C-alpha cells in the first residue's frame, strides 16, 4: 500500500484528521473516519474549506492547490491501480461539496469525471458493458453541463424525454446502449449550441468541477438556506474527490440507503432500501420500486452480512442511529456516506431512551438528543405524508396536529352540528371571543387572517386544537369560501395540518400517534435534571387536569377573560352596555355565581399546587361587536328597508368604549381601578371558591395576579381590595383562607421600578409577549402581516422576538427587574407566563436569570419539561447556572 503524500490543503481520506470537521467538512470528515475505521470506502481526498474563500473571490482554483490535487491524484492512482482518464483500468471520479454544517441537497455534485468521449471504448471493455460506458458519459455530460457550465437541466431532460419516446420506453434505465449514444450526441450538440463544451481532457474536467463545487456555496438557494438556518456565510465548503464505484454494472451491482434503526418508529431494527443495477441518484429519484434489506440478504448474503456488521460498528462508534449510503459493485460492498440519521419525533424519543437504557449513551445525552419542540405534535394525529396529495392552499401552521371534518363558517352552526355528532372544522376570516363556543365544538380551526398569535392561534393552542391561520388565498363570503376556482361550501370535508399550515379539500389520510411509554421515561429523567419549574396556562378544569397529567406543577396563568365568553358573553355585554344600575348589579351577581364554579374546578384539579388566577386583562370592547361589523349589518338592513334604531344605539355605546390603541388603553389593573365592580366580582368569586374548597377539606393555593401594573400604587390599591375581602371572609368563616397577591411584569415601567413593585407583591410573573410588544413598540398582530417577515428576511431582526426572547432589549429589562425585585424581597417567586416559556433559547436565558418556573399551554408542558432539563445541562456545560 502506498503512503499518501502530505499536502497543505488536500488530504487523502486515509491520512486526514477526521476530527477536523471545520477543514474537511462533514462529508470529508465522515469519509476519513470510515476509512480509518477500516470500512470499505472508495478512496479519495478532500480539498479543504481553507481554499473556499479564495476560489470564490478568484473564480478558479489557485495554481498551488491544483498542484496538490495532482499529487493526491497520483497517490490515488497508485492506491487503486487505475488510471484517471485512460484504460485499461480507467479511474472515474466524483466531486462533491461538503461544509462543516450540514446543508442537505443545497450544493452541487459532479459524477463520472473522466468519462470523455475518447475513453468510451476503454470503459466499455473494462466493464464489459457498452451500455454502462455510454451511461457514464451521459451522466457526466448532464451533470457537468448543468453544474459547471450552468445549462438548465430542463434542456437535458427534454432530450431524454424525446429519446424515451423514440425508443418507446418509460424510464431512462430501459434505454439501450444505442439510445444512450444518441443521447450523448444530442447532449453534446445542446452544449455546443450554447458555445460551451465539456473538455475532453479529464484533468480540465476535474479542475473545473472542483471550482464549480466551491462556487455552489453561493447559489441563491444555499445562501437562503444558511440565512434561514442561522449558518454563517464565512464557514465555506470543502470539495471531496473520490473514486467512482458503480451500482449499475449488471445484476450483481446495486445501490442503497439504510438506517441502523427504524427512523419512523425508532424500533431497534435495521431499515433500508436497495435497488439493483442502479446508481445513487436513481434511488433518490424514486422511479423504480426498491427492495428491502431482507431482499438484499436473500440476493447477496455476504454483502448483507458485512453491511449489518458495518451498521453495528457505525452505530457503536457514533453512538447514534446512522443513515448510510452504500453501493454494491459486482458483489463488492462500498460505503459512500454515513451521517446521523434524521428521524420522526417519536423515533427520536424511543431511540434516545433505548440507547440510554442499553448504556450506549448517558441519560443526560438522551435528554439532549430530543428536540423539545417536536414533542408537541407527538400526541396529535398527523397527515400521512406517504399518501397525501398537494395541498389546496397554505397558511400559517398555528397549532400543530392534523384535523379533518366538515367546513362550517359560523360558530353557532359549528356548535349545533358538533352537537349532532358531526366533526367540524370552524372556518372564519378571524375569530373573536364571540366564537369561543364554536372553537370549543370544532376539531380544528382555519382562518384566512391573523398570524401565530392571532386570537384563533392562541386559543387553539391553549385548547390543543389544530389550527391554520392566515390562509390568505381563502375568500370567505357568508357560508361559502373560494380558493381560486375551488369552492368550499358548508358541509364540505376538509383537512388541515396545523404543523405545516397545509389545507386540503377532502379527507386526506391521517396517522394516529402510538402511545409512547419511552416519552414518560425521558421526561422523568428530565425532571430529575431540571431546577426550573414547569406550570401550565389553563383556564378551566379539563385543561387543568390535562396539564397536571402532563406533569404541570401548578397553574402559572388562568386567563379569566375566557370565563366571560361563550354563553356568558350575553351577561358580560349587558353589564357593559346597561345604564340601569340595578340591572348591572343583577348581572354581576349572575356572573359571580358562574365564576365561583370555574375557580372551584381549577382549584380542585390542582389541589395542593399553586393556581395563579389573572384578573381580567383585555379592554371591555373586546366583548362587544365591532363598529365595522355593526356598520355592515346596518347597511344590509337599510338595503332591505328594515329599521336600524337598535343598531344605532348599540353603535353609539360601542363607540363610547372604542380606543385608538386598545393594547395601550383601559385594560388590566386600570379597568380594575376605574370600573371597580368587575374586578371586585372576580375577587369575591375566587375567594368564595377557596373558602368552599377549604370547607370541603381541600388544599387550595390561590394566587391572584394583577395584570398591566406600571406603578406600585396600582398594586397597592388592588391588593388592599383583596386583603379586605379576605379579612371579611375570615371574620365569619371557621376555616380561614389565605391568598397571595402578585403581578405581571409586562410593561417596561414595571420592570424598571420592580423594587417598589416587589414591596407590594407576593410574586412576579413576566408576561414576555406584552413586554416584547411594549419594549419594541410593536403590535405583534399588526407586525406579523405587515413587516416582521421583511425584517427577518433582511436580517434587521436576527430572530422573531415573539418566539425567541430578545435578550439584548427585553432580556435587559428582565435582568433589571429580577435584580431589583429580589433586592427588595430576596425570596420573591418569579416566573414567566408568556409564549417564550416554551422556547429553548429563551429558557436558557430564564434559567440564567434565576427564574423559578415557566408556564406554558398544556400541550407544551412536556416540551417545557424537556427544554428546562436541556437548559440545565447547557448551563452546566458553560460552568455555571447564573451567568
Tell me the catalytic residues. Answer: 455, 833
Residue 781 C-beta: closest distance to a copy of itself, Å: 5
Alpha-carbon distance of 134 to 181, in angstroms, equals 6
Q: Is 473 in the site for a copy of itself (CB under 8 A)?
A: no
**How many CA within 13 A on the CB side of residue 317?**
17
Alpha-carbon distance of 732 to 723, in angstroms, equals 15
Cα dihedral value 355, 357, 363, 365, nearest 10: -10
Q: Is 255 in the site for a copy of itself (CB under 8 A)?
A: no
Residue 717 C-beta: closest distance to a copy of itself, Å: 6
Q: DSSP strand E in 492-627: where?
A: 493-497, 502-505, 510-511, 533-537, 555-559, 610-614
Determine the interface stretch with a copy of itself among 144-152, 404-412, 513-521, 746-754 (rule: CB under 8 A).
746-754
Which residue, 36 or 627, has its beta carbon nearer to a copy of itself? 627
Q: Is 714 in the site for a copy of itself (CB under 8 A)?
A: yes
Determine the interface stretch with a copy of itself among 465-473, 504-512, 790-798, 852-860 (rule: CB under 8 A).
790-798
Residue 450 C-beta: closest distance to a copy of itself, Å: 10
Query: Quick one: the chain helix, strand, coil %, rounded to 5?
Result: 50, 15, 30
Q: Is 3 in the site for a copy of itself (CB under 8 A)?
A: no
Which residue, 237 or 773, has its beta carbon nearer to a copy of itself? 773
Judged by CB under 8 A, which of 631, 649, 727, 823 binds a copy of itself? 631
| Exposure string over 749-761, b if 16+ CB within 10 A, otherwise e | ebbbbbbbbbebb
Number of neighbouring beta carbons within 10 Å of residue 111: 23
Alpha-carbon distance of 683 to 449, in angstroms, equals 36
Alpha-carbon distance of 769 to 453, in angstroms, equals 10
Size of the site for a copy of itself (CB under 8 A): 58
Which residue, 164 or 670, has its beta carbon nearer to a copy of itself? 670
Judged by CB under 8 A, which of 165, 638, 695, 823 binds a copy of itself? 638
- Residues 800-829, one symbol each (x = binds a copy of itself by CB under 8 A, - = not), give ------x-xxx-xx----------------
Judged by CB under 8 A, which of 12, 180, 747, 818 binds a copy of itself? 747
Determine the interface stretch with a copy of itself among 36-44, 168-176, 434-442, 778-786 (rule: CB under 8 A).
778-786
Whether the CB-CB separation of 872 and 530 falls below 8 Å is answered with: yes
Q: Tell me, what DSSP letter sits at residue 244?
A: -
Q: Is 796 in the site for a copy of itself (CB under 8 A)?
A: yes
Residue 663 C-beta: closest distance to a copy of itself, Å: 5
Q: Is 48 in the site for a copy of itself (CB under 8 A)?
A: no
Which residue, 521 or 667, has its beta carbon nearer to a copy of itself? 667
| Exposure string over 74-98, b if 16+ CB within 10 A, otherwise e | ebbbebbebebbeeeebbbbbbbbb
Residue 794 C-beta: closest distance to a copy of itself, Å: 7
Q: Is 859 in the site for a copy of itself (CB under 8 A)?
A: no
C-alpha torsion sign, points 100, 106, 112, 118: negative
Q: Is 652 in the site for a copy of itself (CB under 8 A)?
A: no
Determine the interface stretch with a copy of itself among 230-238, 301-309, 559-567, 662-670 (rule: CB under 8 A).
662-670
Q: Is 753 in the site for a copy of itself (CB under 8 A)?
A: yes
Judged by CB under 8 A, which of 394, 711, 730, 735 binds a copy of itself? 711
Q: DSSP strand E in 6-53: where?
A: 10-12, 44-47
Q: Is 479 in the site for a copy of itself (CB under 8 A)?
A: no
Which residue, 315 or 617, has its beta carbon nearer to a copy of itself? 617
Determine the interface stretch with a copy of itself among 460-468, 534-542, 663-671, 826-834 (rule: CB under 8 A).
663-671
Residue 247 C-beta: closest distance to a copy of itself, Å: 49
Nearest CA-CA partner of 588 in 476, 690, 678, 652: 678
Whether the CB-CB separation of 254 and 275 falls below 8 Å is answered with: yes
Distances (CA, A) of 147 to 235, 267, 751: 21, 39, 56
Which residue, 717 or 881, has its beta carbon nearer to a copy of itself? 717
Residues between 671 and 700 with contacts to a copy of itself, criterion CB under 8 A: 673-674
Q: Is 663 in the site for a copy of itself (CB under 8 A)?
A: yes
Whether the CB-CB separation of 615 and 707 falls below 8 Å is answered with: yes
Residue 721 C-beta: closest distance to a copy of itself, Å: 13
Which residue, 731 or 808, has its beta carbon nearer to a copy of itself? 808
Which residue, 169 or 717, has its beta carbon nearer to a copy of itself? 717
Name, in order, each residue with C-beta under 8 angstroms of 448's C-beta and a sequence gap of 6 or more.
395, 428, 429, 430, 470, 471, 472, 473, 474, 475, 476, 481
Residue with cell string 392562541:
458
Residue 749 C-beta: closest distance to a copy of itself, Å: 4
Judged by CB under 8 A, which of 146, 773, 842, 855 binds a copy of itself? 773
Residue 665 C-beta: closest distance to a copy of itself, Å: 4
Residue 807 C-beta: closest distance to a copy of itself, Å: 11
Q: Is 797 in the site for a copy of itself (CB under 8 A)?
A: yes
Determine the interface stretch with a copy of itself among 238-246, 359-367, 597-605, 655-663 (rule: CB under 8 A).
655-663
Residue 461 C-beta: closest distance to a copy of itself, Å: 20
Number of neighbouring beta carbons within 10 Å of residue 455: 21
Q: Is 435 in the site for a copy of itself (CB under 8 A)?
A: no
Q: Which ranges of 37-93 does DSSP label H, i.e. alpha helix?
A: 52-58, 63-80
Which residue, 122 or 806, has its beta carbon nearer to a copy of itself? 806
Judged by CB under 8 A, which of 38, 358, 420, 628 binds a copy of itself? 628
Cα dihedral value 478, 483, 486, 488, nearest 10: -30
In the chain, count H helices and then E strands.
34, 33
Q: Is 446 helix (H, G, I), strand (E, B) or coil?
A: strand
What is the 3-class SS of 384-431, one letter each residue?
CCCCCCCCCEECEEEECCEEEEEEECCHHHHHHHHHCCCCEEEEECCC
Q: Is 787 in the site for a copy of itself (CB under 8 A)?
A: yes
Q: Is 661 in the site for a copy of itself (CB under 8 A)?
A: yes
Residue 815 CB-density burial (10 A; 0-12 exposed, 13-18 middle, 19+ buried):
middle
Residue 655 C-beta: closest distance to a copy of itself, Å: 8
Name, in order, each residue with C-beta under 8 angstroms of 700's C-beta and a sequence gap of 6 or more.
603, 607, 611, 689, 690, 693, 694, 737
The string of DSSP codes covering 682-738 is HHHHHHHHHHHHHHTT---EEEEEE-S--SHHHHHHHHHHHHHHHHHHHHH-SS---
Q: Is 101 in the site for a copy of itself (CB under 8 A)?
A: no
Q: Is 779 in the site for a copy of itself (CB under 8 A)?
A: yes
Q: Is 794 in the site for a copy of itself (CB under 8 A)?
A: yes
Judged by CB under 8 A, which of 287, 416, 634, 873 binds a copy of itself? 634
Which residue, 272 or 619, has its beta carbon nearer to a copy of itself? 619
Q: How far is CA 47 from the centre of its chain?
A: 34
Judged by CB under 8 A, which of 339, 413, 670, 874 binds a copy of itself? 670
Alpha-carbon distance of 588 to 136, in angstroms, equals 83
Residues between 598 and 627 with contacts to a copy of itself, criterion CB under 8 A: 627
Residues engaged in binding a copy of itself (CB under 8 A): 627-628, 631-632, 634-635, 638-639, 655, 659-666, 670, 673-674, 708, 710-711, 713-714, 717, 746-749, 752-753, 756, 770, 773-779, 781-783, 786-787, 790-791, 794-797, 806, 808-810, 812-813
Amino acid at each position: 500500500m502506498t503512503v499518501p503524500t502530505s499536502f497543505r490543503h488536500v488530504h487523502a481520506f486515509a491520512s486526514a484528521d477526521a476530527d477536523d470537521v471545520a477543514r474537511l467538512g462533514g462529508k470529508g470528515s465522515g469519509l476519513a473516519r470510515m476509512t480509518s475505521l477500516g470500512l470499505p470506502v472508495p478512496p479519495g481526498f478532500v480539498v479543504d474549506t481553507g481554499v473556499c474563500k479564495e476560489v470564490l473571490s478568484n473564480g478558479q482554483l489557485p495554481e498551488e492547490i491544483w498542484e496538490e490535487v495532482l499529487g493526491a491524484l497520483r497517490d490515488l492512482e497508485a492506491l487503486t491501480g487505475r488510471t484517471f482518464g485512460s484504460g485499461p483500468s480507467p479511474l472515474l471520479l466524483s466531486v462533491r461539496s461538503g461544509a462543516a454544517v450540514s446543508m442537505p441537497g443545497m450544493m452541487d455534485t459532479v459524477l463520472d469525471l473522466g468519462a470523455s468521449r475518447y475513453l468510451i471504448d476503454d470503459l466499455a471493455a473494462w466493464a464489459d458493458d457498452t451500455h454502462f460506458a455510454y451511461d457514464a458519459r451521459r451522466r457526466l455530460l448532464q451533470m457537468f453541463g448543468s453544474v459547471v457550465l450552468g445549462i438548465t437541466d430542463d434542456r437535458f431532460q427534454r432530450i431524454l424525454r424525446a429519446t424515451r419516446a423514440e425508443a418507446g420506453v418509460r424510464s431512462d434505465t430501459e434505454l439501450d446502449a444505442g439510445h444512450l449514444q444518441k443521447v450523448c450526441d444530442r447532449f453534446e450538440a445542446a452544449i455546443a449550441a450554447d458555445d460551451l463544451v465539456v473538455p475532453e481532457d479529464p484533468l480540465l474536467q476535474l479542475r473545473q468541477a472542483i471550482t464549480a463545487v466551491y462556487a455552489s456555496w453561493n447559489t441563491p438557494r444555499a445562501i437562503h438556506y444558511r440565512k434561514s438556518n442561522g449558518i454563517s456565510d464565512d464557514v465555506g465548503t470543502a470539495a471531496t474527490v473520490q473514486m467512482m464505484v458503480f451500482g449499475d454494472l449488471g445484476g450483481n451491482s446495486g445501490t442503497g440507503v439504510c438506517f441502523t434503526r427504524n427512523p419512523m418508529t425508532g424500533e431497534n431494527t435495521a431499515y433500508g432500501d436497495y435497488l439493483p443495477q442502479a446508481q445513487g441518484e436513481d434511488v433518490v429519484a424514486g422511479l423504480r420500486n426498491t427492495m428491502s434489506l431482507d431482499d438484499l440478504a436473500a440476493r447477496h448474503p455476504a454483502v448483507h452480512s458485512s453491511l449489518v456488521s458495518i451498521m453495528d460498528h457505525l452505530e457503536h462508534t457514533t453512538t447514534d442511529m446512522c443513515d448510510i449510503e452504500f453501493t454494491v459493485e459486482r458483489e463488492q460492498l462500498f460505503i459512500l456516506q454515513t451521517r446521523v440519521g434524521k428521524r420522526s419525533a417519536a423515533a427520536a424519543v424511543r431511540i434516545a431512551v433505548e440507547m440510554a437504557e442499553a448504556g450506549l449513551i448517558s441519560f443526560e445525552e438522551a435528554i439532549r438528543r430530543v428536540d423539545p419542540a417536536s414533542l408537541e405534535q407527538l400526541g396529535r394525529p398527523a397527515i400521512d405524508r406517504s399518501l397525501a396529495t398537494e395541498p389546496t392552499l397554505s397558511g400559517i401552521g398555528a397549532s400543530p396536529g392534523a384535523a379533518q371534518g366538515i367546513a362550517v363558517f359560523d360558530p353557532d352552526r359549528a356548535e349545533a352540528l358538533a352537537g349532532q355528532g358531526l366533526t367540524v372544522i370552524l372556518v372564519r376570516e378571524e375569530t373573536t371571543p364571540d366564537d369561543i363556543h364554536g372553537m370549543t365544538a370544532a376539531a380544528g380551526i382555519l382562518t384566512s387572517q391573523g398570524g401565530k398569535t392571532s386570537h384563533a392561534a392562541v386559543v387553539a393552542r391553549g385548547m390543543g386544537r389544530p389550527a391554520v391561520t392566515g390562509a390568505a388565498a381563502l375568500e370567505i363570503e357568508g357560508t361559502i369560501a373560494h380558493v381560486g376556482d375551488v369552492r368550499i361550501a358548508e358541509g364540505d370535508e376538509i383537512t388541515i395540518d396545523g404543523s405545516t399550515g397545509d389545507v386540503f379539500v377532502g379527507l386526506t389520510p391521517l396517522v394516529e400517534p402510538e402511545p409512547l411509554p419511552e416519552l414518560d421515561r425521558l421526561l422523568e429523567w428530565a425532571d430529575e435534571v431540571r431546577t426550573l419549574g414547569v406550570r401550565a396556562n389553563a383556564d378551566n378544569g379539563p385543561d387543568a387536569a390535562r396539564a397536571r397529567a402532563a406533569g404541570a406543577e401548578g397553574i402559572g396563568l388562568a386567563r379569566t377573560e375566557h370565563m366571560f365568553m361563550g354563553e356568558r358573553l350575553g351577561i358580560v355585554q349587558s353589564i357593559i352596555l346597561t345604564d340601569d344600575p340595578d340591572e348591572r348589579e343583577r348581572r354581576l351577581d349572575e356572573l359571580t355565581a358562574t365564576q365561583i364554579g370555574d375557580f372551584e374546578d381549577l382549584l380542585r384539579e390542582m389541589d395542593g399546587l399553586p393556581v395563579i388566577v389573572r384578573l381580567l386583562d383585555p379592554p371591555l370592547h373586546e366583548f362587544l361587536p365591532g363598529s365595522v361589523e355593526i356598520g355592515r349589518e346596518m347597511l344590509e338592513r337599510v338595503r332591505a328597508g328594515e329599521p336600524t334604531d337598535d343598531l344605532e344605539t348599540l353603535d353609539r355605546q360601542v363607540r363610547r368604549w372604542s380606543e385608538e390603541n386598545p393594547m395601550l388603553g383601559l385594560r388590566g389593573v386600570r379597568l380594575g381601578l376605574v370600573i371597580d365592580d368587575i374586578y371586585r366580582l372576580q375577587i369575591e368569586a375566587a375567594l368564595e371558591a377557596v373558602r368552599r374548597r377549604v370547607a370541603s377539606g381541600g388544599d387550595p393555593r390561590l394566587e391572584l395576579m394583577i395584570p398591566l401594573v406600571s406603578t406600585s400604587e396600582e398594586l397597592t390599591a388592588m391588593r388592599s381590595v383583596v386583603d379586605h375581602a379576605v379579612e371579611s371572609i375570615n371574620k365569619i368563616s371557621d376555616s380561614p383562607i389565605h391568598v397571595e397577591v402578585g403581578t405581571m411584569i409586562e410593561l417596561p415601567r414595571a420592570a424598571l421600578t420592580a423594587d417598589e413593585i416587589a414591596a407590594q407583591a407576593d410574586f412576579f410573573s413576566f408576561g414576555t409577549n406584552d413586554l416584547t410588544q411594549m419594549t419594541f413598540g410593536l403590535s405583534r398582530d399588526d407586525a406579523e402581516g405587515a413587516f416582521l417577515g421583511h425584517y427577518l428576511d433582511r436580517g434587521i431582526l436576527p430572530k422573531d422576538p415573539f418566539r425567541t426572547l430578545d435578550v439584548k432589549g427585553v432580556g435587559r429589562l428582565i435582568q433589571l427587574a429580577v435584580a431589583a425585585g429580589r433586592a427588595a424581597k430576596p425570596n420573591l417567586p418569579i416566573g414567566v407566563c408568556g409564549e417564550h416559556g416554551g422556547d429553548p433559547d429563551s429558557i436558557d436565558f430564564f434559567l440564567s436569570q434565576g427564574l423559578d418556573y415557566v408556564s406554558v399551554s398544556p400541550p407544551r408542558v412536556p416540551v417545557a419539561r424537556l427544554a428546562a432539563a436541556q437548559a440545565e445541562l447547557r448551563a452546566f456545560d458553560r460552568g455555571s447556572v447564573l451567568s
